[in-house]
């Protein structure tokens, strides 16, 4: 076979240089390969040209491009070549090959039915860094003659130009992918930072799920998004955003079910139109979906699911998958932290409830049961009275005892859930509480309750748990001022600003050293109530300097209806 010529004819050289300049200026790989094919035909006068790109193992063809064959002929031929016969010869022995008659080569085994007749042939490899990238094949030189040594030389030089162009296009594509990966990373980091800013110190699981689903939906342009959390063996929809999302809340995926094949804790899944119908089990109408696991500290805690990209094509591509996977890492940590706090709050609430029950039991035993015992004795004395007058005296005493017992029971019941809260709301309930304290103490009170909207109108009712927490903080703070502080004045301030209720109870009493206080001041109960409500409590007490109880509580509104 011929080697590189010492010189090309001037006209051929000019044509080759023109092709080379065009090739190296092209940065799209598919366009480069097409340009190589067209240039090969143009320079050699071949009727048919093809380019085969080798697979990763280098034993066959993964791509086969061609020019010169029409669509009708292409349909008649059927399957494209895979790299056998003469084409396989260039794969196994990557050197230029020129044949006057294809059928004379020992590895030739003919053409499939419908394939045009081909006699003459020339093929050369495209080498990149010593490895075969692909091969260029030409057949049927126009005019009917064989391909010449000059044609082979031109094709060798063209293949070298093509190799340079392919390397440039590959480098450009790698740079483009790197830039796209960097943009996705930046986008994911921005979304993560935005999520972190929005969450702040947010510990309410419902609020965290709301923020995660909204951010995920916006991040990939989805019609709707969902968070499914692992509860026992099932994945259950606990968060949703977007069109029709709320219909799916509470729906679950059982292990081994149809949906478990597409939505799981192990790997991301892009769900196409053929499989998207399975999401009906979650009451989700979808043309396409993307499922990404939520993992925290190496453990799967749930799945982030987005449905239907907005636009003509609802499908999600690898770019959206990578973006959502990056976001899911931070989202999983936020959800896991909120979940842990919620579990801790539940344990704290149970412990607090048990202590409250114990206190009520002691109240009933120490006061109410003793009062009822005294009442029974009075009734027995009335029955055994020697005269009607004596019986009346015992009954009068008994009536007084009944009134004291009923009053005590009313007070105990009020501590469970003050009726004023349900009947009047938190502001009026605090006023009523202050009136009761004022009636049985010499303390002077200053009260400032500001829970109105910015325009002066009263906003919606708070959740019952929040109202109870506010009420108890004021009650316990004033009780301490009266019982322990020897105070002459107390100030109560309750206000809402920017989604936070601030409660302040301040007195001018003796104060106390917090490190020495163990029992009797209700501090444990106050801390537990505030922690369960997701807030922060600060207590400042200094000997001779009065006491300040300050709590900040996140606003939670009552459910409609």
Which pLDDT tens digit goes with each residue over 171-204? 777 777 767 666 766 666 666 666 656 655 556 7
> Comparing 80-84, 216-220, 287-291, 303-307, which segment has the lowest mean pLDDT?
80-84
* Phi and psi, residue 26, nearest 5°: -90, 130
Q: How far apart are CA 265 and CA 291, in angstroms?
A: 9
Beta bridge partners of 549: 505, 539
- Give the pLDDT confidence score for residue 361 in this predicted structure: 58
Of the candidate CATH numbers 3.30.565.10, 3.65.10.10, 1.10.1660.10, 2.170.120.12, the domain formed by 424-554 belongs to 3.30.565.10
Task: Please state, rounded to an integer, the average pLDDT across all residues of the chain.
Answer: 79
125 pLDDT band (50/70/90 cuts)?
very high
Domain 10-174 matches domain 198-343 at the CATH topology level: yes
Residue bearing tokens 């697979």: 55
Percent of the chain with pLDDT over 90: 11
Instruction: Indicate whether 5 pLDDT > 50.
Output: no
Of the candidate CATH numbers 3.40.50.300, 3.10.450.710, 3.40.50.720, 3.30.450.40, the domain formed by 198-343 belongs to 3.30.450.40
| Other CB atoms within 10 Å distance of the CB of residue 138 | 28
Nearest partner of 364 among 416, 415, 408, judged by Cα: 408
For residue 230, CA distances in Å to 119, 123, 251, 254 come to 66, 59, 12, 10
Mean pLDDT of 208-223: 88
How far is C-alpha 253 from the geometric centre of its chain's CA atoms? 18
Domain-wise residue ranges, the chain = 10-174, 198-343, 424-554
Mean pLDDT of 212-228: 90
How far is C-alpha 275 from the geometric centre of its chain's CA atoms? 22
For residue range 438-485, list pLDDT tens digits in order.
888 888 999 998 886 544 445 678 888 888 889 888 988 888 888 776
Global pTM? 0.43
Contacts of 322 (CB under 8 A, 6+ apart): 181, 184
- Give the pLDDT confidence score for residue 87 in this predicted structure: 82
- Give the pLDDT confidence score for residue 266 in this predicted structure: 85
Provide the residue count of the chain: 561
- Give the pLDDT confidence score for residue 223 in this predicted structure: 92
For residue 151, CA distances in Å to 15, 103, 366 come to 13, 20, 113
355 pLDDT band (50/70/90 cuts)?
low
Mean pLDDT of 15-21: 64
Of the candidate CATH numbers 3.10.180.10, 3.20.20.30, 3.30.450.40, 3.40.50.720, the domain formed by 10-174 belongs to 3.30.450.40
Mean pLDDT of 13-20: 63
Tell me the HSE value of 412 on the side-chain side, using a 13 A CA sphere.
19
| Other CB atoms within 10 Å distance of the CB of residue 508 | 18
Mean pLDDT of 228-249: 88
């Amino acid at each position: 076979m011929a080697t590189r010529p010492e010189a090309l004819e001037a006209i051929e050289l000019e044509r080759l240089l023109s092709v080379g300049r065009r090739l190296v200026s092209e940065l799209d790989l598919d366009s480069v390969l097409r340009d190589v094919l067209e240039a090969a035909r143009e320079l050699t006068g071949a009727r048919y040209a093809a380019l085969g790109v080798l697979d990763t193992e280098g034993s066959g063809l993964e791509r086969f491009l061609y020019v010169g064959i029409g669509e009708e002929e292409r349909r008649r031929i059927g399957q494209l070549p895979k790299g056998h016969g003469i084409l396989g010869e260039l794969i196994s022995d990557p050197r230029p090959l020129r044949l006057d008659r294809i059928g004379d080569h020992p590895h030739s085994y003919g053409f499939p039915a419908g394939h045009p007749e081909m006699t003459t042939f020339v093929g050369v490899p495209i080498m990149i860094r010593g490895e075969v990238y692909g091969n260029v094949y030409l057949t049927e030189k126009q005019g009917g003659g064989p391909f010449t040594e000059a044609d082979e030389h031109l094709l060798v030089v063209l293949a070298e130009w093509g190799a340079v162009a392919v390397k440039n296009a590959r480098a450009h594509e790698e740079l483009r992918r790197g830039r796209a990966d960097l943009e996705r990373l930046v986008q994911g980091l921005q979304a993560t930072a935005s999520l972190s800013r929005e969450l702040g110190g947010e510990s309410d699981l419902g609020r965290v799920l709301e923020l995660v689903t909204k951010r995920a939906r916006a991040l990939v342009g989805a019609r709707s998004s969902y968070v499914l959390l692992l509860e026992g063996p099932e994945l259950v929809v606990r968060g949703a955003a977007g069109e029709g999302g709320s219909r799916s809340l509470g729906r679950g995926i059982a292990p081994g079910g149809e949906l478990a094949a597409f939505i799981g804790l192990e790997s991301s899944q892009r769900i196409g139109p053929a499989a998207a119908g399975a999401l009906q089990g979650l009451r989700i109408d979808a043309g396409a979906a993307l499922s990404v696991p939520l993992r925290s500290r190496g453990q799967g805690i749930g799945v982030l699911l987005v449905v239907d990209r907005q636009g003509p094509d609802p499908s999600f591509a690898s770019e959206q998958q990578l973006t959502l996977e990056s976001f899911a890492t931070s989202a999983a940590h936020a959800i896991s932290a909120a979940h842990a706090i919620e579990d801790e709050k539940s344990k704290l609430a149970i412990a607090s409830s048990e202590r409250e029950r114990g206190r009520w039991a002691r109240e009933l035993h120490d006061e109410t049961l003793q009062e009822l015992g005294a009442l029974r004795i009075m009734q027995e004395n009335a029955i055994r009275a020697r005269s009607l007058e004596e019986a009346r005296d015992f009954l009068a005493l008994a009536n007084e005892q009944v009134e004291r017992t009923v009053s005590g029971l009313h007070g105990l019941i009020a501590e469970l859930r003050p009726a004023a809260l349900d009947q009047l709301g938190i502001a009026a309930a605090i006023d009523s509480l202050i009136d009761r304290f004022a009636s049985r103490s010499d303390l002077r009170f200053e009260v400032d309750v500001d829970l109105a909207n910015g325009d002066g109108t009263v906003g919606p009712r708070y959740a019952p748990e929040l109202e109870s927490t506010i009420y108890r903080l004021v009650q316990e703070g004033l009780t301490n001022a009266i019982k322990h502080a020897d105070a002459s004045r107390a100030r109560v301030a309750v206000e809402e600003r920017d989604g936070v209720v601030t409660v302040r109870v301040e007195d001018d009493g003796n104060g106390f050293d917090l490190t020495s206080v163990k029992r009797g001041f209700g501090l444990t109960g106050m801390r537990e109530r505030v922690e369960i409500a997701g807030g922060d409590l600060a207590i400042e007490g200094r000997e001779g300097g009065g006491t300040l109880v300050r709590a900040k509580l996140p606003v939670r509104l009552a459910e409609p209806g």
